[in-house]
Amino acid sequence: MTTLVSGGAGYVGSHTVAALHEAGRDVVVLDDFSNARRDAVGELRRLTTPDLVVIEGDAADRTAVRQLCDEHDFDSIMHFAAHKSVPESFADPLRYYRNNFLSTLSLAEIAVERGIDRFVFSSSAAVYGTPDQLPVSEETPPAPQSPYGTTKLMCERILADTAASSDLRVVILRYFNPVGAHPSGRIGEQPITAGQNLVPAVMRAALGPLSRLQVFGNDYDTRDGTAVRDFVHVTDLAEGHVAALQADLGTHRSRVFNLGTGAGTTVLELVAATEAVTGRPIPCEIVGRRPGDIAESWADCRRAADELGWCAQRDLRQMLADHWRFVSCRADASPPS
C-alpha cells in the first residue's frame, strides 16, 4: 500500500517522504513546484530510492489525481501542498483561499470516492490566533488572525466533516514553527517565494546577503520584549506524520494534534542561539510589529505524546546547526530577497 504525498517536494513534505521511506512505506509525490525546487527531487531520490515516483501537478486537479489513483493503490493521503506565508496571505488573500481550499476539497472528495482509509493534513498553529492560555492545547478555540490561518481552519473543517460522514479517518497536525534540515544535509528549506519566516531571515543575515535582521517589535509583554515561538525540528515533524499515519484513533473519526516542543524561545534568544551555532554576528534592527503577529505561542504537546507516542527529540541547537549546515553548504539554498 502506498501513500500519496501532495507537496512532497517542499520543506516539511520532503522530510516526511524521507521518514515514510525509512518506515518502509511506498510513496508517490505530487507537487506543482510553485515553492519547491526541482533539484530537491534528485536529493530526495538519493535519500530514499531512485524509483521514487514524483509527478508534477496541482493537488486541486481532480483529473490528474484520479489518474494517479488508477495507477497506484493508495491507502492514505498526506496533504502538504499549500501556500504558507502569513504576510503574503494578507497581500493576496484570494490566491490563498483558492489554492488552499480547493486542493483540500478535491483531495477529500477523491479520498472518499476511492475508499482511502486515512488522510493526514498539514495544519498550523496559525489557526489559534492569540491563545487564551499558554501552553496552547488543542482545546483552545481557534481564532485565526490571518487569511493563511483561516484557510487552514477551513480545510480542517472540510476534513472533519468528511470524516464524520464517511469511512475516512483524518489526522490534523498543527505545526508550530518548523526549523532545521535533514541530518544528511541533502534536503532542507529551499523556498522559491520569499516567505518572510524568521529562521530563513536569520540565516541570510548570518550568511551575508541580508545586512541586518529586522526584528518586528520589542514592545511585547515577554521576557525581552520580542515575540515568543515554539521552534520544532523538521525531522521531528516528519516523524510525527509517520506516527499519525499509524496511530490507532480509537473511536475518533478525526483528531487534531499539536506538533511542537512545548518550549518557547524569543526572537532575540533565537538570534543569540544562531550566533553561537554559526560563530557569525547577526546585526539586528528593531522595527515596528508585523501585522497579524501574536505575542506568544508555544504548544501543549501532551495529546501527541499520549495518543501518537510522539515527542520532539531535537533541541534548538540541533535545529539551528542542521539548518545552518544546509544553507551554508548551498549558495542556491538561501531564500530569495
Q: Does 205 bind ligand WQD (CB under 6 A)?
A: no
Cα–Cα nearest to 236, from 270, 200, 260, 269: 260
Q: Least distance (Å) from ligand WQD to the CB of residue 217?
A: 7
* Rounded-to-integer distance, Cα 15 and Cα 239, Å: 9
The correct pick among 293, 311, 315, 318 for binding ligand WQD (CB under 6 A) is: 293
Quick one: 169 or 241, whose CB is closer to ligand WQD?
241
Identify the three-state secondary structure at position 54. Answer: strand
Cα–Cα nearest to 129, from 152, 154, 149: 149
Instruction: Tell me how many degrees the CA angle 263-266-269 measures, rounded to the nearest 5.
Output: 100
Q: Does 290 bind ligand WQD (CB under 6 A)?
A: yes
Q: How many CB atoms lie within 10 A of CB 153?
A: 18
* Rounded-to-integer distance, Cα 10 and Cα 65, Å: 18
Task: Choose the binding region for ligand WQD from 2-10, 102-110, 119-127, 130-138 (rule: CB under 6 A).
Answer: 119-127
Identify the three-state secondary structure at position 185. Answer: coil
Q: How far is CA 28 from CA 39, 117, 200, in A?
A: 17, 16, 28
Q: Does 184 bind ligand WQD (CB under 6 A)?
A: no
* Rounded-to-integer distance, Cα 202 and Cα 223, Å: 20
Q: Least distance (Å) from ligand WQD to the CB of residue 313?
A: 20
* Diameter of the chain measured on Cα atoms: 55
Q: Least distance (Å) from ligand WQD to the CB of residue 231?
A: 9
Task: Choose the binding region for ligand WQD from 18-26, 92-100, 164-172, 212-220 (rule: CB under 6 A).
Answer: 212-220
Q: Least distance (Å) from ligand WQD to the CB of residue 304?
A: 16
Question: Total residues at the site for ligand WQD (CB under 6 A)?
Answer: 20
Quick one: 69 or 322, whose CB is closer to ligand WQD?
322
Ordered DSSP codes for 235-300 = HHHHHHHHHHHH---TT-SEEEEEES-S--EEHHHHHHHHHHHH-----EEEEPPPTT--SB--B-
The correct pick among 96, 121, 216, 257 for binding ligand WQD (CB under 6 A) is: 216
The correct pick among 47, 78, 86, 187 for binding ligand WQD (CB under 6 A) is: 86
Q: Does 203 bind ligand WQD (CB under 6 A)?
A: no
Quick one: 76 or 197, whose CB is closer to ligand WQD?
197
Identify the three-state secondary structure at position 192. Answer: coil
The correct pick among 215, 232, 244, 277 for binding ligand WQD (CB under 6 A) is: 215
List 11, 96, 128, 148, catalytic entry:
148
- Is 148 catalytic? The answer is yes
Peptide bond before residue 135 is cis, with ω within 30 degrees of 0: yes
Near ligand WQD in 257-276, by CB under 6 A = 267
Whether 19 and 89 have beta carbons less than 8 Å apart is answered as no
Quick one: 202 or 333, whose CB is closer to ligand WQD?
202
Q: Does 125 bind ligand WQD (CB under 6 A)?
A: yes
Residues that bind ligand WQD (CB under 6 A): 84, 86, 124-126, 175, 177, 196-198, 201, 213-216, 227, 229, 267, 290, 293
- Just list the catalytic residues: 148
